[in-house]
């Protein structure tokens, strides 16, 4: 197993653990999703050369679909404001690297 595969394995295990603990008790463990968002953001923002972004360790589209979009589409403005902030930060930092014409990214 090479380094990249080890990183992907570790990140995947950590993501599963964070999301599982959040699912058990969202009101207490919301920080775990916040940590997950920042973990993925830090891996996705790895700069390579002239400012391009490498998203190799994570499937960013899947992460956006499963974690970011639901937080931004939530009807209640007051539910988990820090998660909404982290989701907005993620979307803002990677907006130039995502296809905004995809239906999953349209917020209506």
Q: Which domain holds residue 83?
A: 3-105
pLDDT at 8 over 90: no
Task: Indicate the number of domains in the chain.
Answer: 1
Residues 6+ positions from 54 with CB-CB distance below 8 Å: 44, 46, 47, 48
Residues 6+ positions from 39 with CB-CB distance below 8 Å: 11, 14, 15, 18
What SS3 class is residue 53? Answer: strand
- pLDDT tens for 49-104 read 445 455 556 777 788 888 888 888 888 878 899 999 999 998 888 776 665 445 44
- pLDDT tens for 88-103 read 998 888 776 665 445 4
């Amino acid at each position: 197993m090479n380094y990249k595969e080890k990183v992907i394995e570790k990140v995947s295990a950590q993501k599963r653990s964070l999301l599982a603990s959040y699912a058990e008790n969202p009101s207490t463990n919301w920080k775990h999703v916040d940590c997950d968002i920042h973990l993925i953001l830090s891996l996705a923002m790895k700069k390579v050369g002239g400012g391009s972004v490498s998203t190799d360790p994570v499937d960013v589209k899947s992460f956006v679909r499963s974690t970011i979009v639901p937080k931004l589409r939530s009807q209640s403005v007051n539910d988990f404001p820090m998660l909404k902030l982290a989701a907005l930060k993620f979307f803002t930092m990677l907006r130039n690297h995502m296809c905004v014409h995809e239906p999953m990214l349209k917020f209506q």
